[in-house]
A = this chain, B = another copy of it.
Amino acid sequence: MAGKTRQSKAKLQSAAFRRTRSDHSKELAADYVELIADLIDERGSARGTDVALRLGVANATVVKMLKRLQDMGLVTQEPYRPIALTGEGWEMAETGRKKHQIVERFLLALGVGEETARIDSEGIEHHVSDETLRAMGRFLARQIS
């Protein structure tokens, strides 16, 4: 059983790399909508500059990305106006927030400092499957008791 065929090994491993590449292709959209939702909740509206500042990228980068998010049906925007989320956008933001929170709180519960938990969770969240997320949830539930 430990002896795997060359081919089966390749198949198994390439599946992992494919998943990671697929995660990355969805990552940016997830971060954008989550951030936009946060800005709307915190300050009433999300402007391009705020998004750029929080992401640490140039304004022009945000403009271009927002067009893609519109094409994906996650965001609506009239020229020179603040950014709005579609229903689908809100849904995605909500899902993302929940996941992000669990990952961040999990790291804290594991004994990681606040700043590190904040930073690491921003990348880790996108690679956590449902199964792993559930395991983290169980760990958190255990911790409380």
In the complex the two chains form, is B110's CB within 8 Å of A139's CB?
yes
Over the window 36-58 of chain A, the binary record of Cβ atoms lying under 8 Å from chain B Cβ atoms (1 yes, 0 no) is 00000001000000100111110
In the complex the two chains form, is B119's CB within 8 Å of A124's CB?
no
In the complex the two chains form, is A124's CB within 8 Å of B122's CB?
no
In the complex the two chains form, is B53's CB within 8 Å of A14's CB?
yes
Q: Which residue of B lies closest to A35 (CB)?
A: B13
In the complex the two chains form, is A131's CB within 8 Å of B112's CB?
yes
Q: In the complex, what residues of B have CB within 8 A of residue A10's CB?
A: 50, 53-54
Interface class of chain A by DSSP = helix
How many of A's residues come within 8 Å of B, CB to CB?
46
A111 contacts chain B at the CB level, 8 A cutoff? yes
A120 contacts chain B at the CB level, 8 A cutoff? yes
Tell me the bound Cα distance from A38 to B15 in angstroms.
17
Beyond A15-B56, A124-B128, 10 extra complex contacts between A and B, CB < 8 Å: A10-B50, A13-B55, A16-B119, A17-B55, A19-B119, A110-B136, A110-B139, A112-B131, A124-B124, A124-B127
